[in-house]
Amino acid sequence: MKAEIIAVGTEILLGQIVNTNAQFLSEKLAQLGIDVYFQTAVGDNEERLLSVLEIAKGRSDLVILCGGLGPTEDDLTKQTLAKFLGRDLVFDQAAQVRLDEFFASRPASARTPNNERQAQIVAGSSPLPNVTGLAVGGILVAEGVTYVVLPGPPSELKPMVNQELLPYLSETSEQLYSRVLRFFGIGESRLVTLLHDLIDRQTDPTIAPYAKTGEVTIRLSTKAYSQKEADAKLAQAEKEILAVDRLSDYLYGYGEDNSLAQVVFDLLKEKRKTITAAESLTAGLFQARLADFAGASDIFKGGFVTYSIEEKAKMLNIPLEELKKHGVVSDFTAKKMAEQSRLLTGADWAVSLTGVAGPDQLEDQPAGTVFIGLASAQGTLSRKVLIGGRSRSDVRYIAVLHAFNLVRQALLSKENLV
């Protein structure tokens, strides 16, 4: 559905007020999957409004007019629309009752014939009640075009839109549905290259990749009349994406607000496993992410931050001579940190992170070199990760993502990774 918003009011053209209604309506319509292609402002002039309506009729399916419903002579939106459609203005009974009650409660207020305009609608319209004002709105379909008339004051327009217009449109138009796929371990350029053919020929659903620090998301979007219909289309698109070059190996979750940390936390709770960590370059970031979630004490009892080589030896009971022999940035140190932290806490799993955050080298290893250890009752492993071209904070953040992903893979693996 192609929509157009027409704001009526000379005060808008003079810059005396800001047209916030257009922004509000565009946002609400987008949520329903309705595309707003045009926004127009026109003064309180019948001839010019008629010309704008003629243009809108030829290019839009939904035409929304805002403003010009008041009692004064320059409030002519309903009158002009009625003339354009060749229809009469008629009184809405409920709006008349509201008008009567308003003036009955205010005897000092002078009621004039112009006030009656506020209770009128274009013949054939379905009234849109105004809960905060007196001017009734309306919605009608003529020659395949849906016309909506709304009051200008935002205090009256917004309740009418939220309570009356949006429910109507949601029943008669397709809505926008989305699904967000989250990937880790593959860069945006590589992902886009693999999906080039799918992206190039996309129609519905649409495929939109977004790069975030250390990960990539894909937003699939479609328009449908129901969640069930949308799910079927989104599922098919997801299936086609994951079938490309084993991309399913990199998919870790769904949703805008999901994260690797959340996925791992949920898996640990589901499997009733506990975890600990010994961190060097990340200085507790892994453990802090676990503690972000309510109920963290069920799976995380505590851990270690062993920044210096001396603290690694003292806190984790690793011989200092061995650490100096192999170096802090090494496979040996990562494994021993994981093994010892697990032994000292009795946790089911243990993670370790050691490496070079930068900007300078350490032990002849370039900035961004990270070793991640993982220990369980089945054994211990370590992974070397190179995080190049990043700031110190990004290296530490991405290292933690790699650690969570390693735990996720181990928890989901049918074969022991360690």
User: Residue 103: what pLDDT?
Assistant: 81
Q: What is the mean pLDDT of residues 384-389?
A: 93
Distance, in Å, from the CA atom of 26 to the CA atom of 32, rounded to the nearest integer, reads: 10
3-state secondary structure 50-100: HHHHHHHHHHCCEEEEECCCCCCCCCCHHHHHHHHHCCCEEECHHHHHHHH
User: Residue 388: what pLDDT?
Assistant: 86
Q: Indicate whether 373 pLDDT > 80.
A: yes
Q: What is the dihedral of CA 159, 160, 164, 167, to 10 degrees?
A: -60
Total Cβ atoms within 10 A of residue 292:
11
Summary mean pLDDT of the chain: 93
Q: How far is CA 43 from the centre of its chain?
A: 37
- The helix/strand/coil state of 242 is helix
pLDDT digits (tens, 9 = 90+) for 301-357: 999 999 999 999 999 999 999 999 999 999 999 999 999 999 999 999 999 999 999
Distances from the Cα of 242 to the Cα of 183, 190, 221, angstroms:
11, 14, 16
Sheet (strand 304-305) strand order: 304-305, 275-279, 349-355, 369-376, 379-386
User: Residue 117: what pLDDT?
Assistant: 86
User: Residue 417: what pLDDT?
Assistant: 66
DSSP secondary structure code for residue 287 in this structure: H
Residue pair 137/127 in contact by the 8 Å Cβ criterion: yes
Q: What is the mean pLDDT of residues 6-19?
A: 93
Distance, in Å, from the CA atom of 321 to the CA atom of 346, rounded to the nearest integer, reads: 25
Q: Indicate whether 115 pLDDT > 90.
A: no
Could you tell me the pLDDT band of residue 17, with boundaries at 50, 70 and 90? very high
Q: What percent of the chain has pLDDT over 90?
A: 80
User: Residue 33: what pLDDT?
Assistant: 83
Q: Indicate whether 116 pLDDT > 90.
A: no
Could you tell me the pLDDT band of residue 380, with boundaries at 50, 70 and 90? very high
Q: What is the mean pLDDT of residues 132-159?
A: 94
User: Residue 170: what pLDDT?
Assistant: 83
Total Cβ atoms within 10 A of residue 302:
12
pLDDT digits (tens, 9 = 90+) for 257-314: 899 999 999 999 999 999 999 999 999 999 999 999 999 999 999 999 999 999 999 9
User: Residue 416: what pLDDT?
Assistant: 64
Q: Which of 196-200, 206-210, 286-290 has the highest mean pLDDT?
A: 286-290
Omega before 359 cis (within 30°)? yes
- Per the structure block, which two tokens stand in for 250? 């990199």
Q: Between these two residues, 204 and 373, which has the higher pLDDT value?
A: 373
User: Residue 418: what pLDDT?
Assistant: 64
Q: Which residues pair with 379 in a beta bridge?
A: 376
Q: Between these two residues, 181 and 104, which has the higher pLDDT value?
A: 181
Residue pair 154/223 in contact by the 8 Å Cβ criterion: no
Q: What is the mean pLDDT of residues 163-182?
A: 87
In this structure, the chain runs to a length of 418
- Per the structure block, which two tokens stand in for 262? 């959340």
Could you tell me the pLDDT band of residue 110, with boundaries at 50, 70 and 90? low
Q: Between these two residues, 169 and 264, which has the higher pLDDT value?
A: 264
Distances from the Cα of 74 to the Cα of 44, 78, 152, 214, 230, angstroms:
6, 11, 13, 58, 45
User: Residue 415: what pLDDT?
Assistant: 72
pLDDT digits (tens, 9 = 90+) for 220-238: 998 888 889 999 999 999 9
Q: Indicate whether 172 pLDDT > 80.
A: no
